[in-house]
Amino acid sequence: MVLNRRLAMYIILIAGALTIAVIAVHSWMDPLIIDNLSRYRVDLYITNVQFDNDYLNITVRNIGWNPTTISSVIINQTSTLHTVPVYEPILAGEIISFRVAFKWASGYRYQITLETTDNFENHGCNTFSKIAQ
C-alpha cells in the first residue's frame, strides 16, 4: 500500500514537471514563431482584372505587412510565365495596376495567379477567375 502511494506520488510529480516544461517551452517559442510568420507573410490580393485588346489590366492590393515584388503572372496554370512590368516593391496596403500582354478570347474563363519574390523565396497569391468579355 505504501509502495502504491509512492508510485502515485512519483507519477504525479513527473506529470507536473512535464506540464511545466511544456508550458515553459511554449511560452518561449510562441513569440518567435509568430514573429517569423508575420515577418515573411505575403498577402497579395488580385482585386480586379479587365480584358483590353491584347492585354490584361490587373489590379492588386498588398494586404500583408511587408513590401512584396511580383515576379510573374500565371494564366490558366500554364508553364508560360508572363513578364510583369512592376519592378518596385508593393508596399503594405498599397494598390497598384499594371498591364500584361496576353491574347484572350471573349467568353472563355481565365484564372490569373501572381507569383511574388521576397527574401529569395517564392510565394503565391490568391487566384482570380473571370470570364473574358
First CA to last CA across the chain, in angstroms?
84
Three-class SS state of 54: coil
To the question of pTM greater than 0.75 for the whole model, the response is: no
pLDDT of residue 95: 93
Q: Check residues 29 and 69 and name the one with the higher pLDDT.
A: 69
Cβ pair 114, 128 in contact under 8 A: no
Q: Check residues 76 and 116 and name the one with the higher pLDDT.
A: 76
User: What are all long-range contacts of 35-39, with beta carbons under 8 Å and residues at least 24 apart?
Assistant: 38/65, 39/66
| Identity of the residue numbered 54 | D
Which of the 8 DSSP states describes residue 98? E
Cell digits for 71?
A: 515576379
**Cα–Cα distance between 8 and 43 in angstroms, integer?**
52
Cβ pair 61, 45 in contact under 8 A: yes
pLDDT > 70 fraction of the chain, expressed in percent and rounded: 74
Of 6-10, 55-59, 84-88, 100-104, which gets the smallest average pLDDT? Answer: 84-88
pLDDT of residue 23: 80
> Residue 58's closest CA among 47, 72, 66?
47
Three-class SS state of 6: helix
pLDDT of residue 59: 93
Whether the predicted pLDDT of 50 surpasses 50: yes
